Amino acid sequence: NPEEKASSGLQEMVLLYPGAIHQAPGGQFSFTPLLKSSPYAGALQYSQLVQRSFFGTQLVSRGHRRRPAGHDYTFAAQIKGESVNPELVLDSTKTNAEDQIKTVNAIVIADLDFISDQFFEIRKRGFENLNFDNVTFFLNCMDMLVGDESFVDLRKRRVVHRTLEMVESQSKRFIEQRRKDEDEAEAQAQVALTEAQSRLDQKVAEVRNRQDLDAQQKQIMARNLQEVENRKFEALKANIEAEKQAQIAVSKENMEANIRAIQSSIKTFAVIFPPIPVLIIGIFIFMRRKRREDEAAVAARKLRS
């Protein structure tokens, strides 16, 4: 949030496994977001990230599809307000109403690991390519809560790296196209699986509705039909999944190729364009000197004649 002193001026933070917070409907406290994600962020269930085994809870190593939620998530917020202190309300000696009011001023961050020892070590060693603002944000929050803002602006003084806006805008367009391609492949796969399942259910229903068979024959034929059709269904499902993954892979390759093409074109322009003004100035100076030399030669011949 660039409008809040605790978070304004920060460039980059890392939240490893954050949660998200939001203001409760009809809440009596003010809710000011400090850290928010982009609309391209998504969410995963806890069961998708960890699994229980004989050795305890472990992180799941397999990759998950990145599915943007289409809205942002709030990771940190400042909460202010007033509430009745229940301890003073129960105390009959406290008759002053002002003594029963408790002021609330807190900053809630939905990630404990954002201020782990590793980030302090990174800040201490000063890695050039790992200049995160986790510690800065934490210290700013502490100073804002205690009312000492003397070091807040000082911590924000750092080199600001300007990004290539054209590359970012075009990369976002390719990423959005890739997401649409993945969603389309997912929808097509789901439609094909639904149709295959409906055909299986229809065939089983036809067997069960036959009047020329008794209950036992119907049960045997339905079971055999289910086994055969289930094998076909699993094979079809595997083929559909393979086609879906192939479409996703092609979309990813196209996106990466387009981004590399943009980067290559910018590098080419960076090599070709800078010498052009120098060459133009050099040609202009050369032509000017040559013209002066020609004029001087003509004047010298006139003097000799």
pLDDT per position as a tens digit, 1-11: 777 777 777 77
Kindly tell me if the per-residue pLDDT of 278 is higher than 80: yes
Q: Which residues of 158-182 are buried (b: 16+ CB within 10 A; e: fewer)?
A: eeeeeeeeeeeeebeebbeebbebb
In order of 77, 109, 148, 273, the CA distances from 139 in angstroms are 15, 13, 11, 45
Q: 50 lies in a domain?
A: no
Q: 4 lies in a domain?
A: yes
My answer on whether 25 and 149 are in the same domain is yes
Kindly tell me if the per-residue pLDDT of 176 is higher than 80: no
pLDDT given at position 189: 75
CB atoms inside a 10 Å sphere around CB 133: 20
Last residue of a domain, one of 119, 140, 161: 161
Residue ranges making up the domain that contains 142: 1-45+67-161
pLDDT band at 12 (very low <50, low <70, confident <90, very high): confident
CA torsion, points 137, 139, 142, 147, in degrees to nearest 10? Answer: -100
- Helix pair 215-272, 165-208: axis angle to 10 deg: 170
∠ Cα 35 36 38 (to 5°): 145
Computed over every residue of the chain, the mean pLDDT equals 76
My answer on whether 262 and 180 are in the same domain is yes
My answer on whether 146 and 187 are in the same domain is no
Q: 222 lies in a domain?
A: yes
Q: Nearest CA to 43 among 13, 12, 74? A: 74
* Residue 189 contacts residue 243 (beta carbons within 8 Å): yes
What average pLDDT does range 236-256 have in this prediction? 77
pLDDT band at 149 (very low <50, low <70, confident <90, very high): confident
Q: 225 lies in a domain?
A: yes
Kindly tell me if the per-residue pLDDT of 281 is higher than 70: yes
What average pLDDT does range 165-193 have in this prediction? 74
My answer on whether 7 and 144 are in the same domain is yes
Number of domains present in the structure of the chain:
3
In this structure, of 97-101, 136-140, 155-159, the range with the lowest mean pLDDT score is 97-101
Last residue of a domain, one of 161, 177, 195: 161
Last residue of a domain, one of 139, 161, 183: 161
Q: 36 lies in a domain?
A: yes
* Residue 74 contacts residue 20 (beta carbons within 8 Å): yes
My answer on whether 107 and 20 are in the same domain is yes
pLDDT band at 93 (very low <50, low <70, confident <90, very high): low
pLDDT given at position 285: 92
My answer on whether 125 and 257 are in the same domain is no
Q: 55 lies in a domain?
A: no
Q: Nearest CA to 245 among 109, 93, 65, 33? A: 65
Q: For 91, what's the count of Cα atoms within 13 Å in the CB-facing half-sphere?
A: 12
Q: 54 lies in a domain?
A: no
My answer on whether 298 and 260 are in the same domain is no
Give, as one character, the DSSP assignment of residue 49.
Answer: H
What average pLDDT does range 44-54 have in this prediction? 70
What average pLDDT does range 230-236 have in this prediction? 77
Kindly tell me if the per-residue pLDDT of 261 is higher than 80: yes
Kindly tell me if the per-residue pLDDT of 92 is higher than 60: no
My answer on whether 236 and 125 are in the same domain is no
Kindly tell me if the per-residue pLDDT of 64 is higher than 80: no
What's this model's pTM, rounded to 2 decimal places? 0.48
My answer on whether 134 and 145 are in the same domain is yes
pLDDT band at 162 (very low <50, low <70, confident <90, very high): low
My answer on whether 20 and 152 are in the same domain is yes
Phi, psi of 108 (to 5 degrees): -105, 125
My answer on whether 26 and 169 are in the same domain is no
What average pLDDT does range 261-265 have in this prediction? 81
Instruction: State the DSSP H helix or E strand holding residue 51, giving kind and residue range, or none if neither.
Output: strand 50-53
Q: 61 lies in a domain?
A: no
pLDDT given at position 86: 60
My answer on whether 248 and 281 are in the same domain is no
The residue among 10 and 53 whose pLDDT is bigger is 10
Kindly tell me if the per-residue pLDDT of 95 is higher than 60: no
pLDDT given at position 61: 59
